[in-house]
């Protein structure tokens, strides 16, 4: 079919929106603890509610797309997210926050499953890898910007500044003692805007390859294989590590070093995601000259060292060590995912659905960190990340893909290409 660059652009915008809605939870944690008087375990239930939706909805979303269309599922996803954001914006309390985040997470899970086959069709199979990586860059950009938007809104509303359209509208609907609720009004408006844009957009019919379909029988067959569970656990540990760190950066800096969560804490979280984007670019270059398993081992070792510096160094060291972790974990998702899919010869669609379900690790690990933090202190709670990073490190040693990543070996002036992934 003729390439549809409008849809490619729309999907990149959707990657941006998904990231913006997903990665703002971390900077909000200190505000939520203070305003709702929560323990670390109780506040950890919030990201749990969000990410457990991925575990609940990833495979069902694939089946819904098979039955209906990407466009229908995407509109439904943004409507669900709009409902969740609007619910909490109108009724801000702890219980509603849990329900709200589950609904927003459900919408984001549906979108994640829907946009990948659509991107392949709209941009062309030959450009799919490039467009997917471009989507990750948009994802990282939104992760970098969302904490800055949070700081802009909260700092200005806290100080009574209401100049400009956005601030004046926010001041009119947000409780004076809860300025961070303004983020949920932004979420709701963005979700509603995306519904309108998608509704009036023309979508092509997606023709799936045989191994890209998602079916119950194929999924059950894959679940009988230990290797599938090992890679699922890898994705589980990666997302758990990512969120287990990002969600607690601001609170850690506030508790142990006295930094303001609205400014320094939010900025550090922003740089965590921004450096992850930079790490993605370096990872792409290294994967052209190194085996992906060696890249994974090197970056994970660096992440373990940076985690140690963040937890035991001074406040100034922590401000740099946490973003360094973001830089170093950037290769983990693509490498683990590619090693997994390159370890089977068929049913890649069903296997992808199982792997995406591992995003539920973003629900479980922050909850474990928070629970341990209530018991022994947040610093000790973050020790759990050593376990998840340790498992990811092990993948670099035991993974045995059928096809390795494409690399270039330089010998004098000649270059030889290794296996093609």
Q: What is the pLDDT of residues 153-171, one digit of tens each?
A: 888 887 777 777 788 888 8
Same domain for 274 and 297? yes
Same domain for 157 and 236? no
Same domain for 161 and 237? no
pLDDT at 133: 62
Cα distance between residue 250 and residue 85, in whole Å: 22
Residue after which a domain boundary falls, among 184, 208, 232: 208
pLDDT at 328: 94
Same domain for 202 and 236? no
The number of distinct structural domains making up the chain is: 2
pLDDT at 21: 79
Cα distance between residue 152 and residue 158, in whole Å: 10
pLDDT at 350: 67
Same domain for 237 and 192? no
**Residue 223: which domain range?**
211-421
Q: Are 109 and 53 in contact (CB under 8 A)?
A: yes
pLDDT at 347: 64
Cα distance between residue 111 and residue 186, in whole Å: 19
Same domain for 198 and 246? no
Secondary structure of residue 167 in the 3-state scheme: helix
Same domain for 340 and 228? yes
pLDDT at 122: 76
pLDDT at 421: 42
For residue 413, what pLDDT band results from cuts at 50, 70 and 90? very low
Q: Are 154 and 260 in contact (CB under 8 A)?
A: no
Q: What is the pLDDT of residues 87-130, one digit of tens each?
A: 988 998 889 989 998 999 899 888 877 787 677 677 765 565 56
For residue 420, what pLDDT band results from cuts at 50, 70 and 90? very low
Q: What is the pLDDT of residues 246-298, one digit of tens each?
A: 889 988 999 999 998 878 988 898 899 889 888 878 877 787 778 888 989 99
Mean pLDDT (whole number) for 212-236: 78
Same domain for 216 and 202? no
For residue 217, what pLDDT band results from cuts at 50, 70 and 90? low
Q: Are 82 and 195 in contact (CB under 8 A)?
A: yes
pLDDT at 418: 45
- Residue 242: which of 362, 331, 363 has the closest Cα? 362
Residue after which a domain boundary falls, among 208, 226, 258: 208
| pTM of the full structure | 0.74
**Residue 59 pLDDT more than 90?**
no
**Residue 355 pLDDT more than 60?**
yes
Choice between 57 and 372, residue whose per-residue pLDDT is larger: 372
Phi, psi of 142, deg, nearest 5: -65, -35
For residue 196, what pLDDT band results from cuts at 50, 70 and 90? very high
Residue after which a domain boundary falls, among 189, 208, 227: 208
Secondary structure of residue 164 in the 3-state scheme: coil
Q: Where are the beta strands (DSSP E) in 82-219?
A: none
- Residue 293: which of 385, 410, 407, 387 has the closest Cα? 407
Mean residue pLDDT across the chain: 82
- Name the range with the highest mean pLDDT among 33-42, 64-73, 285-294, 310-319: 310-319
Mean pLDDT (whole number) for 37-61: 81
CATH number (domain holding residue 82)? 1.20.1250.20
pLDDT at 306: 97
As given in the structure block, the two tokens for residue 416 are 């030889």
Same domain for 220 and 199? no
Q: Are 420 and 406 in contact (CB under 8 A)?
A: yes
pLDDT at 296: 92
Same domain for 137 and 262? no
In percent, the amount of the chain with pLDDT more than 90 equals: 31
DSSP 324-367: HHHHHGGGHHHHHHHHHHTT-SS-HHHHHHHHHHGGGHHHHHHH
**Residue 410 pLDDT more than 60?**
no
Same domain for 168 and 232? no
């Amino acid at each position: 079919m003729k390439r549809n660059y409008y849809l490619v652009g729309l999907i990149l915008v959707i990657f941006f929106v998904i990231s913006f809605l997903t990665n703002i939870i971390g900077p909000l944690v200190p505000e939520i603890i203070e305003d709702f008087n929560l323990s670390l375990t109780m506040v950890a239930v919030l990201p749990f509610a969000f990410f457990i939706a991925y575990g609940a909805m990833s495979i069902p979303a694939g089946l819904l797309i098979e039955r209906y269309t990407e466009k229908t599922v995407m509109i439904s996803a943004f409507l669900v997210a709009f409902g969740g954001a609007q619910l909490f914006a109108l009724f801000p309390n702890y219980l509603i926050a849990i329900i709200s985040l589950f609904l927003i997470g459900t919408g984001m899970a549906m979108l994640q499953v829907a946009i990948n086959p659509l991107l392949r069709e709209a941009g062309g199979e030959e450009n799919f890898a490039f467009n997917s990586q471009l989507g990750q860059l948009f994802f990282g950009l939104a992760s970098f910007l969302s904490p800055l938007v949070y700081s802009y809104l909260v700092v200005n509303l806290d100080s009574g500044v209401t100049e400009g359209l956005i601030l004046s509208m926010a001041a009119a609907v947000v409780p004076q003692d809860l300025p961070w609720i303004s983020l949920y009004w932004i979420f709701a408006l963005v979700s509603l805007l995306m519904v309108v844009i998608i509704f009036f957009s023309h979508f092509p019919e997606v023709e799936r390859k045989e191994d890209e379909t998602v079916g119950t029988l194929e999924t059950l067959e894959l679940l009988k294989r230990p290797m599938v569970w090992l890679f699922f656990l890898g994705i589980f540990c990666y997302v758990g590590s990512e969120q287990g760190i990002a969600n607690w950066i601001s609170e850690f800096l506030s508790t142990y070093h006295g930094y303001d969560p609205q400014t320094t804490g939010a900025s550090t979280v922003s740089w965590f995601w921004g450096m992850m984007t930079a790490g993605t670019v370096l990872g792409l270059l290294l994967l052209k000259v190194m085996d992906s398993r060696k890249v994974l081992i090197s970056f994970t070792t660096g992440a373990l060292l940076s985690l140690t510096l963040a937890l035991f160094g001074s406040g100034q060291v922590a401000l740099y060590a946490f973003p360094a972790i973001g830089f170093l974990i950037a290769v983990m998702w693509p490498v683990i995912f590619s090693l997994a899919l390159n370890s089977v010869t068929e049913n890649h669609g069903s296997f992808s659905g199982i792997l995406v379900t591992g995003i539920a690790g973003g629900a479980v690990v922050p909850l474990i960190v928070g629970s341990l933090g209530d018991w022994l202190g947040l610093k000790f709670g973050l020790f759990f990340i050593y376990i998840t990073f340790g498992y990811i490190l092990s993948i670099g040693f035991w993974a045995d893909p059928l096809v390795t990543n494409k690399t270039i070996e330089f010998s004098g002036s000649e270059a030889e290409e290794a296996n093609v992934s």
